[in-house]
Structure 1
Amino acid sequence: MRYEILGPLRVVDGNDYSFISARKVESTLAVLLIRADHVVAFDQLVMELWGDSPPRRVAAGIHVYISQLRKFLHRPERDDNPVVTHPPGYLLRMGVDELDFRDFLRLTEEGRCLAREERYEEAADCLERALSLWRGPVLRDLGNGPIIDGFVAWLMESRLECLELLADCQLQLGRHRELVARLYSLITEHPLRETFYRQLMLALYRSERQADALHVYQTARRTLRHELGVEPCRALRDLQQAILTSARHLDLLASV
């Protein structure tokens, strides 16, 4: 089986896709997948499912959800069930099963290592494969508990780092014109992410659009001052000055 949480949670078995309609059962599976191969304590599940307002028969509720989850994950060809009771709670054993976010992290790290070795073509391919695993917002709207919310925040940050690294690789490969539209979109989605402004400024400058590059800097400055009361970071300020003077180090040295 393959578990996929980079989007609506689903279980892939061959060509079949299975979804859970009951929200709390789905949340239970999400927590167990986030902590796969590690015990999730009973109290942690309670906090994740009900917060500070658990029902009177909370133990019975957890038992029902675990039972429903075991039925959902049962496969006739398998003798064991991946969800097991393990004091002080429960765990999900991965075994040979796959988990998409682990693949994403592995591909991202491989891409990062390739970029360090200046193997930008291979790095970009690896990072694009990592990003292709995303099907939408992580775990839809299952948040509200510390485990899921913390995990979603961490994974979203990991995705942004992957996007930044991919853009850097593509700039090294001379794909600046292809990057412009995508970086404009990313700035709209993440207006406080200064790295995307820097990359867009460089992509525009290399596309013979110096005025547009400087306009992006002013947009970044207005946004940061309005939202946070701060000036752009030093990297952005230095790039603005370099563009104003048409500094030679901004030119693409790698062959296109």
Structure 2
Amino acid sequence: MRYELLGSLRVRHAQECFSLSAAKRELTLAALLLGSGQVVTKEQLFTELWGGRPPRRAMAAVHVYISQLRKFLAEAGAGEQQVIETKPAGYVLRRNGAGYDTDDFTAAMREGRAQQESGHHEAALDSFERALSQVRGPVLDGLAEGPMLSSFAAWVEEERLECLEFSVEARTALGRHREVIGLLHSLTEQYPLRESFYRQLMLVLYRSERQAEALQVYRSARRVLRSELGLEPHRSLRRLHQAILSSDRLLELSAAG
């Protein structure tokens, strides 16, 4: 049995995949899964499900959702195991050894960072790609609005973008910089305020003998940052710009920091 929260919430068992059709039940299970092993209070569930305005019969509704989730999890592979326990203050979800895609994602990221720092770029790239494969889309398909779930969704997105950066770095270190030009063009368009993607794009363009395009990327980044934030590019981006202008030999050896 395996819980998957990095996208729409689903539970896998053997070759079958089980999903919840009702948003409130999905949010309830997601909140319990985030707090697995610990009590998720009734008040926390009210906030995740209804924000600051729970309905008059909120507690009765939560009782129904929990009952339905127990039946769902039994059918999804938990069998007779007691997965959701009732406590005086709320509920506890026991994973009982079930897999969890978030654990797999963080483990792959941790391995990739260690391998990258050790100079094992091929192994690092494999780890980062394995981590990225766990993320199927926005957490809960963007349904999360309460503080617990929305914070988790924001964390996942930040970690995913960082993983993309690490993946690009690994490919660049392996001399496979031309492979990521298209990806980085797309990322700078999707995340125009994230300077690291501009920096990586400038470097790979320069290494691909496209110096003029690399300089154009800097001009575009500077224009966006000044327009949106009233700021000049970070000094690391400015240093890389100067290095490209002077055809610094160090750019052939390592990325600008």
Structure 1 length as normaliser, TM-score?
Answer: 0.96
CA shift for structure 1 position 77: 7.0
Is the CA contact (8 Å cut-off) linking 1:204 and 1:210 kept in structure 2?
yes
The residue that corresponds to 2:172 in the other structure is 171
Q: 134-143 or 196-205: which moved more?
A: 134-143
The residue that corresponds to 1:31 in the other structure is 31
Q: Distance in 2 between matches of 1:30 and 1:229?
A: 39
SS at match of 2:53: coil
The residue that corresponds to 1:238 in the other structure is 239
Q: 73-82 or 150-159: which moved more?
A: 73-82
Is the CA contact (8 Å cut-off) linking 2:73 and 2:79 kept in structure 1?
no
CA shift for structure 1 position 205: 0.2
The residue that corresponds to 2:6 in the other structure is 6
- Any gaps of 5 or more consecutive residues in structure 2? none
Q: Distance in 2 between matches of 1:27 and 1:168?
A: 36
The residue that corresponds to 1:226 in the other structure is 227
Structure 2 length as normaliser, TM-score?
Answer: 0.96
Kindly indicate whether residue 153 of structure 2 is the aligned counterpart of residue 152 of structure 1: yes
Is the CA contact (8 Å cut-off) linking 1:164 and 1:196 kept in structure 2?
yes
Is the CA contact (8 Å cut-off) linking 2:28 and 2:45 kept in structure 1?
yes
Q: 195-204 or 166-175: which moved more?
A: 166-175
Q: Distance in 2 between matches of 1:142 and 1:236?
A: 36
CA shift for structure 1 position 37: 1.5
Structure 2 matches for 1:83-122, cutoff 5 A? 83-122=84-123
CA shift for structure 1 position 78: 3.1
Structure 2 matches for 1:52-201, cutoff 5 A? 52-75=52-75, 78-201=79-202
Structure 1 letter corresponding to 2:81: D
Cα deviation 1:185-210 (Å, max 9, x = unaligned): 11111111100000000000000000
Is the CA contact (8 Å cut-off) linking 1:206 and 1:252 kept in structure 2?
no
Q: Distance in 2 between matches of 1:29 and 1:135?
A: 18
Is the CA contact (8 Å cut-off) linking 1:82 and 1:94 kept in structure 2?
yes
Structure 2 matches for 1:206-225, cutoff 5 A? 206-225=207-226
Q: Distance in 2 between matches of 1:81 and 1:189?
A: 44
Is the CA contact (8 Å cut-off) linking 1:100 and 1:133 kept in structure 2?
yes
Is the CA contact (8 Å cut-off) linking 1:198 and 1:239 kept in structure 2?
yes
Q: Distance in 1 between matches of 2:173 and 2:46?
A: 49
SS at match of 1:227: helix
Query: Between the two proteins, what is the percent identity of the paired residues?
Result: 53
Structure 2 letter corresponding to 1:125: D
**Structure 1 pair 74/206, CA: closer, same or farther in 2 (3 Å)?**
same
Cα deviation 1:77-118 (Å, max 9, x = unaligned): 733231111231111111210110110011001100111111
CA RMSD of aligned residues (A): 1.4
Q: Distance in 1 between matches of 2:231 and 2:213?
A: 22
Q: Distance in 1 between matches of 2:36 and 2:234?
A: 39
Q: Distance in 1 between matches of 2:226 and 2:38?
A: 44
The residue that corresponds to 2:205 in the other structure is 204
Q: Distance in 2 between matches of 1:77 and 1:57?
A: 29
The residue that corresponds to 1:42 in the other structure is 42
Q: Distance in 1 between matches of 2:218 and 2:61?
A: 54
The residue that corresponds to 1:247 in the other structure is 248
Q: Distance in 2 between matches of 1:188 and 1:170?
A: 21
Cα deviation 1:54-95 (Å, max 9, x = unaligned): 111121111011111101001477332311112311111112
| Equivalenced residues, count | 254
Q: Distance in 2 between matches of 1:141 and 1:132?
A: 18
- Any gaps of 5 or more consecutive residues in structure 1? none
Q: Distance in 2 between matches of 1:20 and 1:232?
A: 45
Cα deviation 1:148-186 (Å, max 9, x = unaligned): 111100111111111111111111111110010011111
Q: Distance in 1 between matches of 2:20 and 2:152?
A: 20
